[in-house]
A and B are shown apart, each in its own frame.
Chain A
Amino acid sequence: RKEVEQDPGPFNVPEGATVAFNCTYSNSASQSFFWYRQDCRKEPKLLMSVYSSGNEDGRFTAQLNRASQYISLLIRDSKLSDSATYLCVVNMGYGGATNKLIFGTGTLLAVQP
């Protein structure tokens, strides 16, 4: 089983649509969780951290289910500028000096006008 697994897409959606991405992770000892966004040939940029209680940032909502080892990202009212690859990222670190990020392969979103 892959450490972090995502549907690669592509997801082609019209502007204004709501789109949901899912991710599963294999290691139950994982400590923290993130969604990063990566534009073509650019660096990953943090979109949002994911908390057990769920969290929202404007049009973006992230959920974490530790029991199912499942993470989700919901984007409402999609904009053309949301077109990118969305990376599900898991951090094994818990204090101390190790802080390795494990990335999924990413889900490609293309928002159409």
Chain B
Amino acid sequence: EPEVTQTPSHQVTQMGQEVILRCVPISNHLYFYWYRQILGQKVEFLVSFYNNEISEKSEIFDDQFSVERPDGSNFTLKIRSTKLEDSAMYFCASSINAGGIADTQYFGPGTRLTVL
């Protein structure tokens, strides 16, 4: 069964450093997403990406965040200068289409980011 993969599983970084989280979506999916979950809190939407551009972003997704699809398979989330409050689990998701009941989002296993 196809699945979304993410690397690394755990990233530890110092405050102010740049991090890049990587995702390989399911191969025939066209829509890509990043969500985050701070420990003990709910899953929160960060950004959606389609046709090589951001289609929607949340208030959390400020100028420190960027996304990219550098090749035909990878989808990355970059945090330019990490803050302590960026510590969270980051989930990548993908879907075939957008909207409607049939367009299920499938989640990767997540990258746990710890900012010291």
Contact = CB atoms under 8 A, between A and B. Distances in A.
A95 B104 contact: no
Contacts of B105: 46, 99, 101
Given A41-B89, A97-B98, A103 B44 contact: yes
B106 interface: yes
B33 A87 contact: no
A50 to B, nearest CB: 8
Contacts, number: 83
Interface residues on B, range: 20 to 34
A46 B106 contact: yes
Contacts of B33: 99, 101
A98 B107 contact: no
Interface of A: 31-34, 38, 41-46, 49, 51, 87, 91, 93-106
21 contacts: A31-B100, A32-B99, A41-B112, A44-B107, A45-B107, A46-B106, A49-B101, A87-B43, A91-B99, A95-B99, A96-B99, A97-B50, A97-B51, A97-B55, A97-B98, A99-B33, A99-B99, A100-B58, A101-B43, A101-B45, A106-B42
